[in-house]
A and B are shown apart, each in its own frame.
Chain A
Amino acid sequence: DAGVIQSPRHEVTEMGQEVTLRCKPISGHNSLFWYRQTMMRGLELLIYFNNNVPIDDSGMPEDRFSAKMPNASFSTLKIQPSEPRDSAVYFCASTLLAGGHYEQYFGPGTRLTVT
C-alpha cells in the first residue's frame, strides 16, 4: 500500500515567493495533520482536518500560512509570502479514527529552504 505522499520533496525559493506543499493521505483515512519540524522548535502541529473539515488551526504561525483539503485524497499547505524563517521540514500525516487508536502515518516530508 502507498503511504502518505508529499510533494515536492525539496523546495528552494526566494523570500517573498509563494510556496505550495502538497499531500495525499492514505486512502480511507479520515484525519489529516500538517506539522513543521525545525531544530529550534522541534515538531509543531500546524493544522488538522477531519473529514476534510479544518478542526484546529491554532498552530498556524501567521496569516501567511493557509491550508485546504478540497477532498479526502488531497491537501495543500500554502505560504504566501514566504520568509527565511519558514525554512523547515513540513510533514503531513494521516490517520483513521477508529477503535480509539490514533497512530498517525507520516509522509517523507518536504524540506523547504527560503533564501
Chain B
Amino acid sequence: GESVGLHLPTLSVQEGDNSIINCAYSNSASDYFIWYKQESGKGPQFIIDIRSNMDKRQGQRVTVLLNKTVKHLSLQIAATQPGDSAVYFCAENPLIAGGTSYGKLTFGQGTILTVHP
C-alpha cells in the first residue's frame, strides 16, 4: 500500500536572501517558545528562544517574532547561506496551572528550508 508521511512545508530561497519561517502554536497558555534547526543525520540544534513577555528577540543573523494575539511565531534568517539548509522546528513550553511542565516542549512538524547557491 502507499505510505503516507508528513508533508512538511517547504521554503526555497537564493543565497543572500532573507528567509522567514512561520509557525502557528496551539496553546495560548504557553510561556516559552524556541526554534531548532535539524540538519540531515543530526539531532535538533537550538537556535533562539523567546519568552511570552517579549514580542521580538534578536540573535546573530536570526530574529524571532512572537504574536500572542494570533498565536504565531516566526523565525527570520538574514542573508541566508547554503549552510542554513535544514528542517526548522518551532516548539512551545505550555504553562501548567498549579504545577510545572519540567521543561517539556511540544514540537511543530517542521519546515524544510533549501538555500540555492
Name A residues whose Cβ lies closer than 8 Å to a Cβ of B.
Answer: 4, 31, 33, 39-43, 45, 48, 50, 55-56, 91, 93, 95, 97, 100-109
Number of A-B contacts (CB under 8 A): 71
In contact, B34 and A108 (Cβ under 8 angstroms):
no
Tell me whether B25 is interfacial, beta carbon within 8 Å: no
CA gap between A95 and B105 in the complex, in Å: 11
A-B contact pairs, 18 of them (CB 8 A): A4-B43, A31-B103, A33-B104, A40-B3, A41-B6, A42-B110, A43-B44, A45-B104, A50-B102, A50-B103, A55-B102, A95-B103, A100-B31, A100-B32, A102-B103, A103-B46, A106-B36, A108-B42
Interface members, chain B 34-51 (any A CB < 8 Å): 34, 36, 42-46, 49, 51
CA gap between A33 and B105 in the complex, in Å: 10
Min C-beta distance of B42 to chain A, whole Å: 6
In contact, A104 and B110 (Cβ under 8 angstroms):
no
CA gap between A97 and B42 in the complex, in Å: 24
Point out the residues of chain B lying under 8 angstroms from A107, CB to CB: 43
Name B residues whose Cβ lies closer than 8 Å to a Cβ of A.
Answer: 3-6, 31-32, 34, 36, 42-46, 49, 51, 89, 93, 100-107, 109-110
Point out the residues of chain B lying under 8 angstroms from A42, CB to CB: 6, 107, 109-110
CA gap between A4 and B104 in the complex, in Å: 17
Q: A100-B51, A102-B93 are in contact. Are A108 and B107 (CB under 8 A)?
A: no
Point out the residues of chain A lying under 8 angstroms from B5, CB to CB: 39-40
- Looking at the complex, which one of B44, B49, B104 makes contact with A106 (CB distance below 8 Å)? B44
Give B8's nearest chain A residue, CB to CB: A42
Point out the residues of chain A lying under 8 angstroms from B46, CB to CB: 103-105
In contact, A56 and B49 (Cβ under 8 angstroms):
no
